[in-house]
Amino acid sequence: MIYHLKGQLIEKNPTHVVIDCNGVGYFVHISLHTFSLLNNNSEVIHLYTHLQVKEDSHTLYGFMEKSERELFRLLISVSGVGSSTARTMLSSLEPKPIMEAIASGDAATIQKIKGIGTKTAQRVILDLKDKILKVFGVDEIFVSQNNTNREEALSALETLGFLRKPAEKVVDRIMKVTTDPTVETIIKLALKNL
């Protein structure tokens, strides 16, 4: 198992890099997220790696952040999600939004990724929700608190006479743009937008 690589960056592309480690050049597949964190071509870089061994190939994947590698490993553990799909997911969205979508059961966000359908998104959430909360320590209270706040705000809006579907759309937009929204904040902003 190759745990990490530290060496001279020889070649940099959006899908892969070549790293020279003491005279040995390693071809390493990367995500766009890792690509965006790399600087110029002449630097010494450190990548956390995952080595995938198959009958006909040994493929090395590299990540600037340890958390991205752990998320990659969790994603490829899901039936139907291979290494290319996991890398596409990490290239389409940054690791944190993917973890939040899985932790909160937000299949719609995961489905926005090219090649991910409804069944795959639901399988990813079903298989990884508990693991994401456990491995990354995503604050379970934060996720459930936000869901509770969302539900309380929706109940209040329904009591005030608003229809559930349009209210849900407005509340979901508010939840995305507001950091740590309280029930009161959600209701106030929703009343301005309904």
10-residue mean pLDDT profile of the chain (194 residues): values are 89 92 94 85 84 92 92 92 92 89 87 88 89 66 59 83 86 78 83 81
What are the extents of the domains in the chain? 4-63, 67-136, 140-193
CATH of domain 4-63: 2.40.50.140
- pLDDT number for residue 141: 37
- Is the pTM here over 0.75, yes or no? no
CATH superfamily of this structure's domain 67-136: 5' to 3' exonuclease, C-terminal subdomain (1.10.150.20)
The CATH fold of domain 140-193:
Helicase, Ruva Protein; domain 3 (1.10.8)
Percentage helix, strand, coil for the chain under 3-state DSSP, each rounded to 5: 55, 20, 25
